[in-house]
A and B are shown apart, each in its own frame.
Chain A
Amino acid sequence: MNVSLYLSSKTWVHRLDGRTKVLTVLGVFVLALCFSHPLYLLGVFGFVMGGLAISRAGANVRKAWMLTALLFCYSVALWPFFVEGLTPVPLLNRLGVTQEGVMVGMGMGLRLLIMLWGGIWLLSTTTVEELAQASQQLGLPSRAGFAFSLAFRWVGMLLGAGVGVVQAQRSRGLDVSTGGLLQRIRKYVPLVVPLIGHALRQTNLLAMALESKGFHPSSRRHFCSTGQLMLPDYAVICVMVVLVGVSGWLRWIGVGVLDIRF
């Protein structure tokens, strides 16, 4: 079962070095945190959506738009109740909802969207192996990166096994959709135990398999890919540095920032 969001394509974004893509997304997160005004955040959101478009990540956009739209609505609906303001909203005045609160809700909703779509853009254009290599090159411990990529690889296998477990137990009459809360929770035991048992039974074998292929925790990994940054990488990093710098300066002088009081 394939669980990765990665979309194989030959765009120039895909060809960028993994470090460039990770740094770009981190830059986008910083841009989102610099502003709280919806108009400025809308600009950053447009930048991210443009990135998704040139990366041909439409398939993932179609997959995730419903979830992200729901989260945006939550933010817009919830924040106004926690923010003080001076301009009441007609009809909702009794609930303490003000126009400033609505602005904050929209801003925070957009910030959430930018962060989620930024993450989806990274995962759509970067393989798990590239992410592991980039994280090692950016200074994260290589063994943690390896455990991450290994786990990612096994999620697919476990999801496949999970389908088998669910089918086997349903065939024996297990129905998790009926009963009260406690009953329903207890019914998950026959589903979760075989899945965990299936995985743990293989622990020793997996460790043996890794060492048989030459892996050892003490050995350093030397990636085949030379990891040299190319001209497009430097160009993208420069653009992001400028954007982050300008946004930081705008925030410093108070542009694009709402005055939020709780």
Chain B
Amino acid sequence: MDNFLSILFNSLQTGSVYALAALAIVLIFRTSKTTNFAQGSIGTLNAYVGALVLSSWGWSIWAVAPVSILTAFLTGVLIDTFIIRPAAKVNRIAKQIITLGLIMIITGITPFLFGVDPYQLPRFIPSGSVDVLGASLRFNTVFTVLISLVLMGAIFWFIQKTKWGLAIRVTASNEVTSKLMGVPTKTVTMMSWATAAMLGTLAALIIAPSGSVNPNMMFNVQVSAFFAGVFGGFQTFYGPVLAAFIIAFARNTTAFYVTDIWGDVLVYMVILVFLFFKPYGIFGKAPVKKV
């Protein structure tokens, strides 16, 4: 029971990290019609910024996090303005390749900016835990899960209930028509990239203390977030978030009961088999073939 509970608590934390990343990927998918492979790299880059500030000026993580989030916002805006917007006319696969190029640029630039040694980032709440039926639950876990849930709740509310949210939804469903109807699709797309970058960076800041800030820190998160997107279907905003928690639980369980390495391989295999039979996710529908 205590094992199960600690897996559950763990999964809530990793699940919220995956969910943040998945939400970011879906947001960009819906407004820019591409899967952003550089999502993880953008988060990593800004986590590095935070780690650098923390290690050179000795700020606390509470002061560093806003700095990272701010640079993430700027990264998103810059990427959209200089790369994504000019690429409006290229085809889907070429757009994907552009985001792959972003990975290369960011990966190549980090050693120049931040050196080759990994950095450490502390937890938001460094110590303290409460005992729940024999399993210990860190205050930090409670905090990060809560803040992720509140943030995602706010985003859902924003998308569903506000005028800007409506703009996002109509841009997602048909950009050309939206533009003709006077929706500022450019701003919508730019804000989606900025928001996605901030979500990814937050995910990176949450995951960093359990390892280090290094170029590959977001790889697993990224892969899981993609799976969450595919599993939940890119057509909805809530599907991927739900799927993120499911996959976090599945991963942690296999990692605990099977071996660490082969657990991941097993999960990927299951993903591929799943994709083969339900290529558009559990909530998604295959597009209608028009001849």
Partners in one complex: no
Chain A residues with a Cβ under 8 A of chain B = none
